[in-house]
Structure formats: structure tokens, C-alpha cells
Amino acid sequence: MAYTAEVIATRPFHTLDDYVQVEEDSAIRHELVGGVIMAMAGGTVEHGRLSGNTITQLNIALRGTGCVVLSSDVRVGHAQGDFRAYPDATVLCGAPTYANKPAHTLTNPRFLVEVLSEGTAAYDRGAKLEGYQAIPSVEAVIFVSQEARAITVVRRAGERFETSQHGAGERFLLPGVAAALTVDSIYD
């Protein structure tokens, strides 16, 4: 889903309790990143196409691995802390675990996918990526560009993360599972 990051209040820092109240009182989704609550706007056709293609290709690649691919309806976050976000796709391997606030916040995703848009790329690659990297179970964050056939994979390598770039005609491995995706399959 393409998002326009819109701050919904003027206070510079919001708590998890503030976020829970906003989510309960609103018909739209919000994210909490770095103390800022942001309303999530709808996406473009191209964003939806790339997100759908990525989910389809992940489902094919992960068949038989015990992992499931989840849509952008699934919120992820820290078990303890104030990070809550809705990735464009989430891969869960094994039984889900949840934070207690708000309910149904998945705390053990394996892979996360963000389809980048011009308006959110800096946010997705900045504060949101830092939040994803702080989730202990996350092995990789996959960024899908809308501007070119370009995939960026930020994968856990021990205590740090490494970044790799993949273009047309290339494939990339999903760490920890016997699966790979081709860049072209996401864009075709």
C-alpha cells in the first residue's frame, strides 16, 4: 500500500497508549514510529500491482517451508516498545506471537516487504527500517522500487545488517529458508 505519511497531531512524541487510542477511535490505519503517529493513505494501482506480485511470488517460493505470507492488513511491532507498522507484506514462519497492545500486533515476522513510493521512500528506509531491524525475528526487509526494476534486500548478518541490490534478470535468496525470488517475476 502506498502511504502518505501524515502526522495526525502536533505533539512531537506519542506513547503506545496514545497510538492504541487513535487506532481504536479511527476507521483508518495508523503507524507509530519514533513517537510519531501517522495516518496511512491508500495506494496507487502500480503499488498494488507490485505488492500483489510480490505476495504471489513469495507464496510460490515458500510453498512447503512452513512459512505463510500475510497481506498489508497485518500489523507488526516490538513485543515491548512503541513501534507499530503495517508492511506491504509479512512472512511468518512458525506460530505467531503477539504484543498485548494493541491486540493482534505480530511480534515474530521473518521477512517484511515495503513497496517504495516517492512520498514514503525516505520514511520506509529510515525510521521504519530501524523499527523493523529492532524486531529480533526479522531476517530481512525487502524494498521494491516503483521507479525501476530494482529490489533492495536488507538482511541480518549477526549483530548488523547488510544491504544488497538486485536488478532486472537477477534473483535473490531469502535467508534461513530454501527459497529465492527473481526480480523480473515481481515486475512482470
Q: Look at residue 62 and tell me if it is in a domain.
A: yes
The reply to whether 31 falls in a domain is: no
53 belongs to a structural domain? yes
What confidence tens digit (pLDDT) does each residue in 14-61 have? 888 888 888 888 888 888 888 887 777 777 899 999 999 999 999 999
**Percentage above 90 pLDDT, the chain:** 67
Which band of pLDDT confidence, cut at 50, 70 and 90, is reported for residue 82?
confident
d(CA 37, CA 39): 7
**Higher per-residue pLDDT: 157 or 4:** 157
Report pLDDT digits (tens) over 100-132: 888 889 999 999 999 998 888 998 999 999 999
The number of distinct structural domains making up the chain is: 1
Residue 21 lies in a domain: no
Return phi, psi of residue 185, to 5°: -65, -25
Please check whether residue 97 lies inside any domain of the structure. Answer: yes
Provide the strand spans (E) within the chain: 6-7, 30-33, 36-39, 67-70, 75-77, 84-85, 89-93, 98-99, 105-106, 111-115, 140-144, 150-157, 160-167, 171-174, 179-182
The 10 Å CB-count burial string (b at 16+, else e) for 158-176 is: eeebeeeebeeeeebebee
Q: Is residue 30 in some structural domain?
A: no
pTM for the full predicted model: 0.87
Read off the pLDDT band of 12 (50, 70, 90). Answer: low
Where do we find the cell 534461513?
Answer: 176
Within a domain: residue 158?
yes
Per the domain annotation, does 71 fall within a domain?
yes
The CATH number linked to 53 is: 3.90.1570.10
Q: Note down the domain range covering 59.
A: 44-187
